[in-house]
Amino acid sequence: MRRLLAGLDRLLAASRPGWIGWAQLALVVLGVHLAADRLDDLLLDGLQSTGLAGPDGALQAATWGALVIELAVDLRAATALALTPQPGARAMPRRVRSVEAIVLPLFWAVAALAGAWVVAMAVEDALAPLVPPAARWTGLAVGLLAAWRLGWTGLQRAEAGALDAKRWTSGLVTAPLLLAVTAVLLGSGLPLGGVLR
């Protein structure tokens, strides 16, 4: 058994460059999707309160608006990893601190935590019918592992690319979208109610 586990460990270590970036991105995409589920409700409430669109028009606009924001933020997260090919490499900070160097790590940390929470809940839900006493703790353990091995390393990688900016305005265009998703996740996407209240 020990040899089998050691062989599996070597196989995973050797294959890591092929999947680690995708896994880091997938964790953040899960978090962004969690935000989009809440964002379409917020957009719908906003559109209905203005009275500019009827119920059907407001629903369609809110749904499409949330989808466009989700895809744009996912694309920005993908480019953050694609532009930093060395996993865990840290760029040397320049004198000019860009908007992106502040906003991107904040977004990444919150979205990765939300994605890890989704993973933990999925594991708990899958195990609950089979082994109810262990489901919650197993889900928590898997979520923490995902946050550490994928969220933390992805954050380091995205941050390294964001620090290598030539102008302070770098990231100014995408900052509002990243901050909106971050705010939605902090407001209602993460289970922080008991901690913050």
Q: Cα–Cα distances in Å, from 89 out to 21, 159, 164, 193?
A: 13, 9, 12, 35
> Could you give the CA distance from residue 197 to residue 194 in angstroms, rounded to a whole number?
6
State yes or no: pLDDT of 32 exceeds 70. Answer: yes
Residue 70 lies in a domain: yes
Flag whether 10 is in a domain.
no
| pLDDT value of residue 89 | 47
| pLDDT of 193 | 47
Range of the domain at 129: 21-190
In a domain, 14, yes or no: no
Both tokens of residue 88? 């865990």
> Is residue 197, in this structure, part of any structural domain at all?
no
In a domain, 33, yes or no: yes
More confident residue, 79 or 11: 79
pTM across the whole model? 0.80
Q: Is residue 184 part of a domain?
A: yes
**Distance from C-alpha of 26 to C-alpha of 146, rounded to nearest angstrom:** 11
Within a domain: 6: no
Contacts of 178 (CB under 8 A, 6+ apart): 73, 76, 103, 104, 106, 107
The rounded mean pLDDT for the chain is 81
Is 101 a member of any domain?
A: yes
Number of domains in the chain: 1
Buried-state track 12-28, b at ≥16 Cβ within 10 A, e below 16: eeeeeeeebbeebbbbb
Is 110 within 8 Å of 83 (Cβ atoms)?
no
Least-confidence region, from 3-7, 61-65, 154-158:
3-7
Backbone angles phi, psi at 70, to 5 degrees: -60, -45
- For the record, the structure tokens of 92 come out as 């040397």
**Percent of residues in the chain assigned helix, strand, coil, to nearest 5:** 80, 0, 20
